Structure 1
């Protein structure tokens, strides 16, 4: 397993206004799909020629609204600190992750030990869990677990399944490298995970092989 967090200070691949712009763009991209679906559902309800689709419209609105709420709750912890909570329980964080991943092809096996997590730890955990599930586009099992050893909190994600993989942009982000080609939207969340772990005084480790992806964040407990 390779250490992908540099031991010596280096110029940040993205910071300040550039970093804020990339995070904002990522969030807008995530929000546009469910919000657009809600508007489409409302248009159907208001269309006198489409009253036979009223039930479908209501179903689309309800499903999209639930997705939007899940996105907002997840983003508040994963990308910011806009919450009154100083610490989060394992159950709260599991609910955030399952709200984002339910309905996908991969199965989430949550083995995170009960206990409280600080804001940086919670931010790292939900991003790591989400990216572990995202590494299984064709399905498989995503195991997310935690343990404390020698005063360090270990957050571990194991993605096992057919064609488990990380896109080149995600690999660059998880290594703390600047994006040179590809989509910034695929890069920013992995980079945000790397940055969160690094600024908390931890290290992020990565292992990628055929049918298996492993991500491990080690942070002060």
Structure 2
């Protein structure tokens, strides 16, 4: 990746962050305005509940971005799986109507594998527009981290451009806030000598990664 590509990717990831935070932060602002004007005790309580929900959603999204795109996780090379698991569970709770099942055969993962798992999980949540089940697995085999995420539900939605980004076949003008995360994962897989795979049907999306360690 040259300097121009790196700047473009960073810009699109920032655009993605701003897009995802705009709704809950906007709801916070609107809620504060309503609270300042409202005098009915019952309505004020309702405003406070909405403010609490918006603040929680904003915090959960920031925690996700910190791990999924940033340099979080401490100074070591590995991150305990409890941290990304808590983030994904919180996002699924915010999404509602999504049940998350875990099959983790490791206590910690390399930071690149954590980024892959988090972004795969977010793609799965985005695909479950009508709710469903999100199954997430991780294990270490033959010196490599293997990540699998399966989203199952009615009318699974997955943009083909995201799939092309995961495959590394995205056109030069195809990088956007929608595809930036998938493009980043493709770079992570390339740098580690690993690979990414995906399969989509009407009611399921399966995302897989094999990332050699070391």
TM-score, normalised on structure 2?
Answer: 0.87
Secondary structure class of the residue paired with 1:51: coil
1:211–1:148 Cα change, 3 Å: same
What is the deviation of 1:183? 9.0
Equivalent residue, structure 2, for 1:152: 144
Which of 58, 61, 67 is matched with 2:48 structurally? 58
Secondary structure class of the residue paired with 1:185: coil
What is the deviation of 1:107? 1.6
In structure 2, distance between residues paired with 1:83 and 1:219: 18
Secondary structure class of the residue paired with 1:214: strand
Quick check: 2:109–2:145 contact (8 Å CA) kept in 1? no
Equivalent residue, structure 2, for 1:8: none
Which of 101, 104, 113 is matched with 1:109 structurally? 101
What is the deviation of 1:181? 8.3
Mapping for residues 8-23 of structure 1, pairs under 5 Å: 15-23=5-13
Which of 39, 42, 57 is matched with 2:32 structurally? 42
Equivalent residue, structure 1, for 2:208: 216
Quick check: 1:163–1:210 contact (8 Å CA) kept in 2? yes
What is the deviation of 1:43? 0.8
In structure 1, distance between residues paired with 2:169 and 2:47: 44
Quick check: 1:198–1:204 contact (8 Å CA) kept in 2? no
Equivalent residue, structure 2, for 1:33: 23
What is the deviation of 1:69? 0.9
Which of 189, 193, 196 is matched with 1:204 structurally? 196
Q: Relative contact order (C-alpha < 8 Å, sep 6+): which is higher?
A: 1
Tell me the number of residue pairs that the alignment of Structure 1 and Structure 2 aligns. Answer: 208
In structure 1, distance between residues paired with 2:171 and 2:5: 13
Once the two structures are superposed, residues 135-172 of structure 1 have per-residue CA deviations (whole angstroms, 9 ceiling, x without a partner) of 22122221110122222211011122222231123222
In structure 2, distance between residues paired with 1:106 and 1:123: 21
Structure 2: any 5+ residue segments left out of the alignment? none
Supply the RMSD in Å over aligned alpha carbons. Answer: 2.2
TM-score, normalised on structure 1?
Answer: 0.84
What is the deviation of 1:182? 8.2
What is the deviation of 1:85? 4.6
Mapping for residues 167-186 of structure 1, pairs under 5 Å: 167-178=159-170, 184-186=176-178
Deviation beyond 4 Å, 4+ runs, structure 1: 179-183
In structure 2, distance between residues paired with 1:179 and 1:134: 23
